[in-house]
Structure 1
Amino acid sequence: MYECYCQNKPRSESLWRQFSDCSFFQECQKKLEHKLGLDSYLLKPIQRLTKYQLLIKELLKYSSDCEGTSELQGALTAMLDLLKSVNDSMHQISITGYKGDICELGRVLMQGSFSVWISHKRGPTRMKELARFKPMQRHLFLYERALLLCKRREEHGDGIDKTPSYSFKHCLKMTAVGITENIKGDVRKFEIWYSGREEVYVVQAPSVEVKMAWLNELRKILTHQQKLLRAEAYQHGQVVEHIPLSPHLNESSKQQRLSVSSEETESGKSSPDPQPHTPKHQRNRRMVQVYFDVKNQAHQGLWRKKVQLLRVAFDSTFFLISQ
């Protein structure tokens, strides 16, 4: 409710500026003996959001040893979550260029600006070129069902009406997303890979804390998807074992992972070209591709093929463990 109300606030302000001199509103204000105009009352619900959490903080400050402290702490957590949700949703309404219904992506969980490198599975030459590219500045919106990558545009408007705009660039469905949490060379970087590494997005967070917050949320979504997949398979008489969210890499293959720091790209220097993947790493990638094939076919109802692919995935897993 608060998200919807706050999202409509810019529109209500625009309408008020257009019709504030209307005699109808002036007569209503006079009859009710209100000193303030309608616009002031429209602002109050938004002001309450910040006042509530400040009030609860004060109550907690003087109630550390009293009964009901846990309830107060729960109320504060709920209010802070609501404030974050409202803030995220206010950025969402500025997204332009997305063709589908953005409401179908679910609730906005997180949003923020990152440096991003993108590579596509087009052979080693493409990967070598990636090391020479400067990062793109992208604003990421994490939804329950997808991750949107947008480009932030210049703020438009005057004074308090200044709002940023986000041009839609990429949509990654969470059913085909995987993550690699650590990349050698920068503790702020992590990987988001799509469709079995057909596309790889190297993301650099502004801080380690921001990186960990995003990884925690991504892990929750991917773990939830695994539970749903196992539940679907169980309904059809199949037992699905745990499938890793990201491929297991040995130390040698980890060192071969492409790593480009912002300082290197900005100065024009490039990282050493990555070495070819080891056979074991290639088997890991094939296993992950099988996993995504299974999920795609599950949505199409091809259960027989799904079972065959799962067996291949399990055989690959046991083979890797035995090495």
Structure 2
Amino acid sequence: MEYWRQCAMWLISCNVLPANHRVTADSAQVFDLAQTLRDGVLLCQLLNNLKPHTINLKEINLRPQMSQFLCLKNIRTFLMSCCDVFGVKKSDLFEAFDLFDVRDFGKVMDTLSKLSHTSIALQGGFKPFPTEESLKDEDIYNNLKDLIDENAPEDEDDLYAAVYQLEEDDAGGEIYEDLMRTEQQPPLQAEVDVRSCCLTEIKQTEERYTETLESIEKYFLNPLKKFFSAAEIDKVFVNIPDLVKVHKSLMVDLQDSILNKNALNLYQIFINYKDKLLIYGIYCSRVEIAIAVLDLICKEKEDVRLKLEECSKRANNGKFTLRDLLVVPMQRVLKYHLLLQELVKHTHDAADKTNLKIALDAMKDLAQYVNEVKRDNETLREIDQYQRSIENLNQPLISFGRPKGDGEVRMVSSVDKRKQDRHIFLFDVAVIVCKRRGYNYEMNDILDLNYFKITNNPTSDREGKKWCYGFYVTHQQGHTGFELFFKTRELKKKWLDQFEMAISNIRPEKANHNSHQFKMHTFERITSCSFCHLLLRGIFNQGYLCLKCGLGAHKECLGRLGLCGRTDPAKSKSKESTPPANSGLPRMVVIRDYSGIPCPHCGPPLSIHAGDVIELMFADLHSSWWQGKILATSKIGFFPSDAVRPCPCVPKPADYSAQPW
């Protein structure tokens, strides 16, 4: 059997590759194996399979996608662990580029063979390779470098499923299921009984989860106040007390609905609690830091570690540690939409089903928001890795948004036509141009994409030649531009797509629709889209802000908003200072008090009281904030649109035809 096939069979025996992977096909080539291992993810998982917890999955990048930097980091993490944990000699290790560029895949397999013969691998019962003589035909490796550039990897989510499952387990999935487990009920056939089981599960799991939160506060947070500083309490427990308050209240409301009201108002409870549950954004942003701080304290302070063991015994007979319990809230908040989804499936009353679907959408929106916060926190870790690896960079990379990819490129300046080999990092709004310096990079230039346009150059493409596939990055004000060349047609297409997407995000097609002026924006507060009312998700660059009227929106909602309320600030100011005696503007009566909290993001708040009459100055049916003037005091500002209704005592019908809403 060929050497590479024996290597593949060993990886299958180590449960890294599935038994039906394409490398086992008769038509498979060594290239298929090289491409599968190239991003380093499965190699890191291999070490964890040979010796559990060798590599912390948080320290590797499970979805490196277009990033050469992240792939190389994964490979180097694998190589370091081979040496430090498994005792493989440095001289027996391949170099990172031997795998990533497939410069010497034979050396990669030699390293894996040495790994298979280590005592740790043998103790695990994994038979080493090669098990038989095989001809190491160097010729079959010679063109791998060309093949790897010319062939895009297939979508292999199934291949990574085991790795992602381990990541999920690491995030507390099993602990959550154990805590929420209820007594098995006998199977019931009637549909009404299935629905009843769904309701019971919602109630019981909320009771158990609330009990878990209370136990964290009672058996860990309060006793540890004597051992932790106030800052440490804040870092480790984040906002657990706030979660306790919200869920105690939610639990009571769910119990009342299910036990006393036949769950008829259940949908309204979830809709009402959506905003309260947004505090999970804070928890999810800080829970990893919380666990890291807890680990450090336990390592440095023996008395605290012993106290934590004592707390665990009191809380749950030592079954779960505080570290275990801290990951449970993340699991719970992502379960509500799944519970409601099952309930909707087994609800047949049309009105109930419609109402529950509204609640389901609200909980889906919440789950997507939390997941996006999680992803953005992973992205922040990636950005930090870039930041520490790029020398001569004097500004924070986070100001450029999310990373879109990095890799090698040949740049030709529009001024002197010089060709330069560079490594670029593409972000939402900028390109960082670097020279490679060993494992690190030196920043040469920053291209602010706000001032550039992208144009394809198909005439540069020359089949069969490298570095002949390019497109233009042209400065819109005539400053220095570049033509970027890539090794292959496939790489060029990937990069052109990413650049065009970045420009589309910076200057979306509908940015100025209906006189608005939308720009990509990082919202400091949790904000909903002014059109669809779903959340703008994530930590940074969540959506778009109109610089004129202050509305926030998703990119896909930009063309659906009504007229901008501040199309001409000068005229607006003139109108405000000297309104005509009979303006014809609609008047509204206030139906509830508003004192300025929450504060509108579009302008100064207007404090109003029930009974006040307000003359509208700007109102968009899709916006939650309107602008108006109190007739009695002439004060002007913004107020919630649901705090008013049309005034019943207007002396003559108002003409609404000229209003944007």
**So what's the TM-score if we normalise by structure 2?**
0.26
Structure with bigger gyration radius? 2
User: Which protein has the bigger strand share?
Assistant: 1
